[in-house]
Amino acid sequence: MKIVVIGGTGLIGSKVVAKLNAHGHEAVAASPNSGVNTLTGEGVDAALAGADVVVDVSNSPSFEDKAVMDFFTTATNTLIAAERKAGVKHHVALSVVGTERMTDSGYMRAKVAQETLITESGIPFTIVHATQFYEFVKSIADAATDGDTVRLAPVFIKPMAAEDVSTAVARAAAGEPVNGVHEVSGPEEFRLTELITRGLAARGDSRTVVDDPDARYFGAHLTDRELVPAPDAEVFPTTFEQWLSAQQAAPTGR
């Protein structure tokens, strides 16, 4: 199959392209760097010509409420229109576990809008809901930092490795549309504060992580289990400790 991966040069997209090509598919990375821009429409029709499947793992460069909403709605509408012209048979999108439970976050509202456009497009689809990536430990801490203190709500989280996320997305792309959401997560459940404390310590980061039930998570107020998938989610094997060990063995990846 010809599979076009929008955002195919990024953290997840590059891994998805490599995995699909390794399994005999014709996977093509599409991004502004390759002349494909879903905001302006530049190069989109040409990139999708002959495509069986389109995978969208692109992300907004800005998390500001209006900018992120504009990004996901414009890009998704552009893709859907091009997919109809090209006769694409399956649209796969990567989204976030808990989007529908965190709509006080502008980012999550934008992801819900993206998912709604996909669902209502009439094109067969699969939406992969992944929990947060181990790779995002530092960015989560940075967003919650006040001086030398990281303030986070002590809610539950079941994070996963980007490598496993890309496996889930690649499998979805190679499989049949589910016309719904497929949730995936890592194998371990943590308190968010515990995860970030361990992750910062492994990096030699001296910031102090404190429990703050009122702390916002990228604009969202969390209660307890918004970041955790349903019990029937597919669980991937890489533990946080295994991931940390791999990062420490390859410092340039940290």
Number of domains making up the chain:
1
Contact predicate 56/95, CB 8 Å: no
Question: How far are the Cα atoms of 117, 162, 193, 226 from residue 132, in angstroms, in the given order?
Answer: 23, 9, 14, 12
Q: Count CA atoms within 13 Å of residue 176 on its CB side.
A: 1
The token pair at 149 is 């203190």
The pTM of this model reads 0.94
Residue 43 CA to residue 209 CA, distance in Å, equals 45
Q: What kind and span of H or E run contains 188?
A: none
Confidence (pLDDT) at 251: 57
Q: Give the distance from CA 251 to its chain's centroid.
A: 23
pLDDT value of residue 249? 80
Domain that holds residue 192: 2-253
Pairing of strands 53-56, 90-96: parallel
What confidence score (pLDDT) does residue 248 get?
82
- Domain harbouring 113, CATH code: 3.40.50.720
pLDDT at 253: 44
pLDDT at 22: 97
Along the chain (254 residues), what's the average pLDDT of each consecutive run of 10 residues?
Answer: 96 97 97 94 97 97 94 98 98 96 94 98 98 96 95 97 98 98 98 97 95 92 93 97 90 49
End-to-end, the C-alpha distance of the chain in Å comes to 34
